[in-house]
Structure 1
Amino acid sequence: MEKKDEFGTHSRQHPSAVSQGDGPVPWQFSGQRRILEDDEYHFTLVCDEGVFVGLVLYWEWETNIYIEHLCTLPEVRNKGYGRRVLSMLEEAHKTLILEIDPPVDELSRRRKGFYERCGFAENPYEHIHPPYHWGNSGHELVVMTWPGRISREEYNAFARYLHERVMDRAFT
């Protein structure tokens, strides 16, 4: 998604820009470096006329785009930025995959409704996202996809990619 106009700007953060500071321990830092150096990983700042409004972190491979994180600043929510980012990703003509918390409270139900209004469908497969940190356990999430549901075979391929590519970069 190399798109530069008044709305989106694409930027891959250079690994040296990731600071250890008081943050991650060295094995986490090396995982962050590996992720940022991966050609399938995209760290994209979302700007409107040069003003930062959010970001999207995603993995893109042959037929899919896995949206690992999409957020906008609280003060610009409900202004269409999230929908515009998703529309830009749709232009790749690949299946978009993302995970959300189960819709058990107002915020998680609103989030699910947003993705449904953007054309995403909930998939019926039990999904436990692996932990990002050693010693933590995975947590249940709902897999949503665009432009519709995916088959069990497609889900299994995504789960393999998540474990073997995404999470492997975080821990090895």
Structure 2
Amino acid sequence: MAADVSGENQPMPDDAKQLVRPNRDLVAELLDQMELTYGVDDEGDLVAPYEGFRIYFIFRGTQHELFAMRTYYDRVFPLESKPVLLGALDAWNRETLWPKAYTLTQEDGSVRMVTEYQLIVPNRVDLNFFVSNMTSWMEASIQFDGWIADQLGWDGDLDDPDD
């Protein structure tokens, strides 16, 4: 795996860690190596679509030092279902260390679920550390999707909070 996709990262000796400054090009290279389909949204963030959700790879901050992965799940719920969703997400957040999970209420009153991870990288980081974090976070997004489906039922029907 090449560490220098932007000209910003310098190769290290074989016995040293391979330090990189994560950026969009590096993430795109990693997604290519994983043979995953992805695109670029209107804000310039990478987005990888999966069945049932989309993972966004986001860099923010004055020097793009904040790397975040946000997963937006496709299931849409009515606003009245939000208390049931919050109960399930509270259970997830109590039982796991990450990703953090929360609801996002749209302007039309519909509710969606989101998971999020953040990593602040003010300087360089070991490439293997970054890759293992990114792939672990992606796997956790997939696990959350299965977990929440089990908690709420595969159809996502939350009209009756007693279900």
TM-score (norm 2): 0.28
RCO comparison, higher one (Cα < 8 Å, 6+): 2
